[in-house]
Amino acid sequence: MTQFIQGQWVAGLGHEVTSINPANQEIIWRGQTATPEQVDSAVMAAREAQFDWFMLGLDARLAIIEAYRGQLEANKAALAEVIAQETGKPQWETATEAGAMIGKIALSVAAYHKRTGSSENDTPAGRAVLRHKPHGVVAVFGPYNFPGHLPNGHIVPALIAGNAVVFKPSELTPKVAEFMLKLWQQAGLPQGVLNLVQGEVETGKALASHTQIDGLFFTGSSRTGHILHQQNAGDPGKILALEMGGNNPLIIKDVNDTKAAVHDIIQSAYISSGQRCTCARRLYVQKGEQGDALLVQLASAVKQIQVGAWNAQPQPFMGSMISETAAKGMVAAQQSLIDLGASSLVELTHIEAGTGLVSPGLIDVSGVMALPDEEYFGPLLQVVRYTDFDEAIKLANNTRYGLSAGLLSDSREDYDYFLARIRAGIVNWNKQITGASGSAPFGGVGASGNHRASAFYAADYCAYPVASVEADVVSLPAKLSPGLTL
């Protein structure tokens, strides 16, 4: 029973799919995909449930959402283990993902009140009241890299606002989705308010193109996000929040503590085996002795990064990539850069056939004339040597994406200069560019998003404002407009 529709677990009527532990190919989940007819049933169940869920009122909705928080707390270790098993991420890291899911509840409640909610004030024209209403039925699409936290970051604010949801997780992480839905079920969410449809692109297409959805909240690749944007062209009434990838730059300028800089670079580029949308992909290092010395230290530290299975002891820094296909994709990406003139500083290797385990790579692409503006979603950091700061900023901005960017420099002046010129939604100074805070907005510009930032600003796309002017009784104004006699 892999689909959750109208409060019931039902079998998918499509073809069989499996989910594997990418560190050893063990099958950890098996099920059938949802057919377009089942997607339709899920959307209609959400439609039927939505108004009652909204009319339940905020306090009653929050009580159920708080019960879900309790379920997350009680099952935190098990949740972290399922995420680790299915994504290959090490346990220390998935414990932080489970923690972020718990933290998301209080943050979303605060955001609801701060960003939306309701307010009123008296004006000469009457009582001006601002309220927010839910859109209705929204579809949530999740990526595989944070299979719990990122869909949760759409689902929780959507439900707080009074929407009903149909959730389509990544086909690579169905088990985490199922686990999460069971926690919602335990929390006593009314039937139909949150539905789960599992499957691949066909299931996704059936949901994204359904005429009865009022909003689509997507976190995933830029390629898919663009398809969804095109698919919904001409339908301005449907709200789209598209959180997509990046080709994120990190510039190193004058830093005293090279070891600390190396640490920030590693945390920016290799955490989650490079499978974070915020990961640094392009590293700009000044030409000259200082830059050479930094690269020597960086290469040495990269070679020492421990890679292993999610449950290996002692725990590795990097786990497996999501699949063997992804691992091979990174080896191929490295080779294509070499073919274009890049030189490998630390080679990314596929450690074990049949798994997603790869070692981290560092590659100097300074010699590549036309560097592809691609998001290589894995642990491969491209190094570019620059002459002056303006050149570095120009190169950093030479991307269609605009998600995250960073500067490591001990000069405040440099940072102000960088901040004014860099084009990205997340801009950090002397800090890693991964690990964004849920108490801030999260989103990018250009091919990284459609100006509907998530995290703390997710409340904004979960509800629309209703402005009213109100009076308790009908009454004549003190003075009638000229030319009127009653």
Ligand X SMILES: NC(=O)C1=CN([C@@H]2O[C@H](COP(=O)(O)OP(=O)(O)OC[C@H]3O[C@@H](n4cnc5c(N)ncnc54)[C@H](O)[C@@H]3O)[C@@H](O)[C@H]2O)C=CC1
Active-site residue set: 243, 277
Q: Are the CB atoms for 213 and 39 separated by under 8 Å? A: no
Residue 245, SS3 per DSSP? coil
Residue 174, SS3 per DSSP? helix
Among 417, 435, 445, 464, binds ligand LFNQLBSZ (CB under 6 A): 435
φ, ψ for residue 121 (rounded to 5)?
A: -155, 150
Q: Is 277 in the site for ligand LFNQLBSZ (CB under 6 A)?
A: yes
Window of 66-74, 88-96, 285-293, 435-443 that interacts with ligand LFNQLBSZ by CB under 6 A = 435-443
Q: Copy the structure tokens of residue 113.
A: 């009140």
Q: Are the CB atoms for 359 and 372 separated by under 8 Å? A: no
What letter would DSSP give residue 2?
Answer: -
Q: Are the CB atoms for 84 and 310 separated by under 8 Å? A: yes
Task: Tell the smallest beta-carbon distance from residue 326 to ligand X (Å).
Answer: 9
Task: Name the β-bridge partners of 386.
Answer: 286
Q: Among candidates 253, 283, 289, 277, which has minimal Cα distance to 265?
A: 283
Q: Is 248 in the site for ligand LFNQLBSZ (CB under 6 A)?
A: no
Among 168, 281, 282, 452, binds ligand X (CB under 6 A): 168
Q: Among candidates 398, 393, 386, which has minimal Cα distance to 418?
A: 393
Q: Are the CB atoms for 474 and 460 separated by under 8 Å? A: no
The site string for ligand X over 397-416 (x = CB under 6 A, - otherwise) reads: ------x-------------
Q: Compute how many residues bind ligand LFNQLBSZ; rule: CB under 6 A.
A: 14
The entry of ligand LFNQLBSZ, ligand X, none that residue 63 binds, CB within 5 to 8 Å by partner kind: none
Among 199, 316, 438, 443, binds ligand LFNQLBSZ (CB under 6 A): 438
- Residue ranges in 224-253 that form contacts with ligand X under rule CB under 6 A: 224, 227, 243-245
Residue 103 or 291 having the CB closest to ligand X: 103
The entry of ligand X, ligand LFNQLBSZ, none that residue 428 binds, CB within 5 to 8 Å by partner kind: none
Residue 200 or 391 having the CB closest to ligand X: 200
Residue type, 441: P
Peptide bond into 314 cis (omega under 30): yes
Residue 277 or 383 having the CB closest to ligand LFNQLBSZ: 277
The entry of ligand LFNQLBSZ, ligand X, none that residue 170 binds, CB within 5 to 8 Å by partner kind: ligand X
Task: Tell the smallest beta-carbon distance from residue 219 to ligand X (Å).
Answer: 5
- Residue ranges in 68-127 that form contacts with ligand LFNQLBSZ under rule CB under 6 A: 100
Round to the nearest angstrom and report the end-to-end CA distance of the chain: 68
Residue 191 or 267 having the CB closest to ligand LFNQLBSZ: 267
What letter would DSSP give residue 446?
Answer: G
Distance between CA atoms of residues 303 and 341, nearest Å: 22
Q: Is residue 221 a known part of a binding site?
A: yes
Task: Tell the smallest beta-carbon distance from residue 391 to ligand LFNQLBSZ (Å).
Answer: 28
Which residues in 390-421 are b (16+ Cβ under 10 Å) and which e? eebbebbeebebbbbbbbbbeeeebbebbeee
Strands 119-123 and 248-252: unpaired
Contacts with ligand X, residue ranges (CB under 6 A): 141-146, 150, 168-171, 200-201, 204-205, 208, 219-221, 224, 227, 243-245, 277, 375, 377, 403, 454
Residues lying near ligand LFNQLBSZ in the complex (CB under 6 A) are found at 100, 145-146, 153, 276-278, 434-436, 438, 442, 454-455
